[in-house]
Structure 1
Amino acid sequence: MASMISVPLWLTAKQDCSYLDDRLSQSAVIDPDFTMDTLLYSRLIEQGFRRSGDQVYKPHCNGCQACVPTRIPVAAFRANRKQRRCARRNAETQIVVKTPEFNERHFDLYRRYQIARHDKTSENEISREDYLHFLTSSWCDTWFVEFLIEGRLAAIAVVDALDNALSAVYTFFDPAFDHFSPGVLAVLWQIDSARQLGLDYVYLGFWVKDCRKMRYKIEYQPLEGLIGRQWQPISEPS
């Protein structure tokens, strides 16, 4: 494992946890004035960091280790029955990799997804600035991957290309295509792309066992989690 990189960190104020009720969360955030690049981020993600926009952070919650950074070793991955069905269902799905410039069609899909899945009440709550601030970065090599079903934009996967891995930043989709399992397809595409590029891992972000929306990551096996300072296999009890 790479040695610890010396970077300036700030500790955020405590706030309500986004994943677990009745808990407070806190993050260690790299100083926004510190110069970041893809190579450095490739080392930091190995140590449990993630990015949101240009901000690089990791959970730093007193007495709680629920957020486990995860990654898939792509050479060892084997799709389960559900994932194989998803691949077959999407045999005709078109996939196009785009650069991260602002795209009105992408933004419209993002707003509809947020309203349908994340309790946003209107499109006016979601600005272009917030969208770009969340998904894009001035220093990272980021792809916006389109999934087109019958010529219609069904989903977007935002993916960071690192030196030895791909990192799944965020996926959003048209709820009308929910039966195509676009979230599963996006992960399968990233695994396959990483293999083709000769990369070692796909980073999936945090697995939170007791949070329904974060628990799905355990379905991609073998899955590794950063527990303490060691990457080790994690799986659901049989």
Structure 2
Amino acid sequence: MKQVLVVTGGSQGIGAAVARLAAARGYAVALSYRRGKAQADAVVADIVKSGGQAIAVQADAADEQATEALFAAVDRALGPVTALVNNAGITGPARTLEDVTGEMLTDVMGINVNGCFLALREAARRMATDRGGAGGAIVNVSSRASELGGPNEWVHYAASKGAVDSFTIGAAKELAPRGIRVNAVNPGLIDTEIHAKAGMPDRTERFKAVIPMGRAGSAEEVAKVILWLLSDEASYVTGALVPVGGGR
């Protein structure tokens, strides 16, 4: 059966690493992006150049109609979805909790929580065996912040990822009898552009001393864990929250 993967937020960072690795392992890949069209197109071009199949679709993860349109576009271009990586997410600006505005909170929760829910819903509608689907696997990209709490920087972000963890556990139990596995990865300090976007380009260097392994992780290291969770090698794994944090 053709394996078709949707990666939300797949134009850069962990999402782009997942898209490239999945394509190398035989998946047809659809990646969504909100603003980074050039970056998304570059990922697609890399995959196609290597002999894979990929498309990029513009979609705001927090927008219900855009998410529905994303999955409809994948249906038309690639066929039935068999896997989803819910990667789209933002940290919001680094703030102490009393300086977080309602607008910041709405933005972070809209993409990280609502967006995760909406994409998983659309995937489940297509994969669930009781709806005529063939089953499948879903991986939500959470964060070690959900346990660590993000004090003095990202309490709002950490709270959103706590919701993703809870959502992962509940969805896994609900969807297991219907042929769908749902797991999450919880990356820690990962060397991607997310830190610079939050105004802290040196954050990985500053924080690596608190990591038992003494370094930041790479997007590719996270991607390998995600691809394992999607694979048949993880066929009896569902509802798991897998830390990828170098021991922290």
Please report the TM-score for the alignment, with normalisation by the length of structure 2.
0.31
Please report the TM-score for the alignment, with normalisation by the length of structure 1.
0.32
As a proportion of its length, which structure holds more strand? 1
As a proportion of its length, which structure holds more helix? 2
